[in-house]
């Protein structure tokens, strides 16, 4: 696609493997807004060739100006990132990427789009509000040093398995955060194709039945990407997960555990607070319905 904001011809096309360096450069210009990301994960997305993933890049000639990354799950879409080169912000490139993303997703059967914005990122929030997105909810990020996490052994017979996320098979219906239902589907596809093997999964079983699951990455920080449960009332299963995450974080010398939860999941929040977690950051969940012209 060609456009001419400010008199320049801008091309927006599908991002390719050879664009990885430029995408990483732009992403690393905004670490606080976009969060940390393993370069190998971007590489895996570019190599996946999946219609679940929409990765676009905006260029003038060979110079990348920005990129957008979105996922599709049946009739729903989720925008992971829109990032613009620092020297080209405020020139309408973000709007171009957003509009092209919406157009392509609509053509692929998507009828509603979701995304998240950090609560302090007022410029991003205003950008999406201007494009008719509405605030639908809030995601709370809870953190705790592992040695301060207070856990009790649940009063159920259970087994805990810590495996590479690519080996994970059970799918549980209820997610602790809404956006995890989008990200989890793409994650599993990437793991299945063996394009990325860095993340781990904890699976809690009662007998042969899976009752809770957490996908996480560890290091100085143990960051939980998603938690899924067999039921929102499966508090004992969550206790088993927390106990396992605590032990793993201590064993691997992680300084902090981070867990995202929707603000509407009151029972889960109460358990996290009782276990010593504190809310450290929040994000707005935004939503927009797509309408065909």
Predicted pLDDT at 96: 96
Nearest to 262 by CA among 279, 243, 239, 238: 279
What residue spans in the chain does CATH classification 3.40.630.30 cover? Answer: 2-110, 140-282
| Burial class of 193 by CB neighbour count within 10 A (0 to 12, 13 to 18, 19+) | middle
Predicted pLDDT at 5: 52
What is the mean pLDDT of the segment spanning 243-262? 94
Q: In whole angstroms, give the CA distance from residue 135 to residue 119.
A: 11
Q: Which of 177-186, 192-201, 209-218 has the lowest mean pLDDT?
A: 192-201
Predicted pLDDT at 4: 53
Predicted pLDDT at 218: 85
Predicted pLDDT at 82: 96
User: What is the rounded end-to-end Cα distance, in angstroms, of the chain?
Assistant: 19
User: Is 224 a residue whose pLDDT tops 60?
Assistant: yes
N residues, the chain: 293
pLDDT tens for 80-129 read 999 999 999 999 999 999 999 999 999 999 999 999 999 999 999 999 99
Q: Helices 39-48 & 20-28, crossing angle to 10 degrees?
A: 140
Instruction: Return the CATH fold of 140-282.
Output: Aminopeptidase (3.40.630)
Q: Mean pLDDT highest for which of 48-62, 141-155, 162-176, 194-208? A: 48-62
Q: How many CA atoms lie within 13 A of 209 on its CB side?
A: 9
Predicted pLDDT at 13: 97
User: Is 63 a residue whose pLDDT tops 60?
Assistant: yes
Q: In whole angstroms, give the CA distance from residue 133 to residue 48.
A: 29
Only one residue has tokens 């993303």, namely 101
DSSP 195: S
Predicted pLDDT at 172: 80
74 CB contacts (<8 Å, ≥6 apart)? 109
Instruction: Give alpha helix (H) positions in 20-173.
Output: 20-28, 31-34, 39-48, 93-107, 122-130
Q: Which CATH architecture has domain 2-110?
A: 3-Layer(aba) Sandwich (3.40)
On whether the CB atoms of residues 77 and 52 are closer than 8 A, the answer is no
Spacing of C-alpha 177 from chain mean position: 10
Kindly tell me the number of DSSP H helices and DSSP E strands found in the chain: 8, 14
């Amino acid at each position: 696609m060609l456009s001419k904001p400010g008199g320049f011809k801008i091309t927006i096309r599908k991002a390719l493997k050879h664009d990885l360096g430029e995408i990483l450069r732009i992403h690393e210009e905004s670490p606080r807004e976009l969060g940390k990301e393993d370069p190998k994960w971007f590489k895996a997305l570019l190599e996946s060739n999946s219609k679940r993933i929409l990765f676009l890049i905006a260029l003038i000639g060979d110079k990348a100006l920005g990129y957008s990354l979105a996922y599709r799950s049946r009739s729903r879409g989720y925008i992971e990132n829109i990032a613009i080169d620092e020297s080209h912000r405020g020139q309408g490139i973000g709007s171009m990427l957003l509009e092209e993303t919406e157009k392509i997703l609509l053509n692929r059967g998507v009828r509603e789009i979701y995304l998240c914005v950090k609560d302090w990122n007022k410029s991003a929030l205003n950008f999406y509000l201007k494009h008719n997105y509405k605030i639908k909810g809030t995601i709370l990020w809870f953190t705790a040093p592992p040695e301060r996490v207070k856990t009790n052994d649940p009063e159920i017979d259970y087994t805990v398995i810590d495996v590479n996320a690519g080996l994970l098979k059970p799918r549980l219906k209820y997610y602790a955060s809404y956006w995890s239902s989008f990200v989890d589907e793409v994650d599993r596809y990437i793991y299945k194709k063996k394009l990325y093997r860095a993340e781990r999964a904890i699976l809690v079983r009662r007998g042969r039945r899976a009752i809770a699951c957490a996908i996480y990455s560890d290091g100085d920080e143990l960051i939980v990407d998603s938690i899924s449960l067999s039921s929102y009332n499966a508090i004992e299963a969550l206790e088993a997960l927390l106990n396992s995450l605590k032990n793993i974080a201590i064993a691997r010398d992680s300084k902090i555990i981070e867990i995202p939860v929707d603000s509407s999941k009151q029972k889960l929040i109460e358990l996290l607070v009782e276990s010593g977690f504190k809310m450290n950051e929040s994000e707005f969940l935004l939503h927009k319905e797509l309408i065909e012209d």
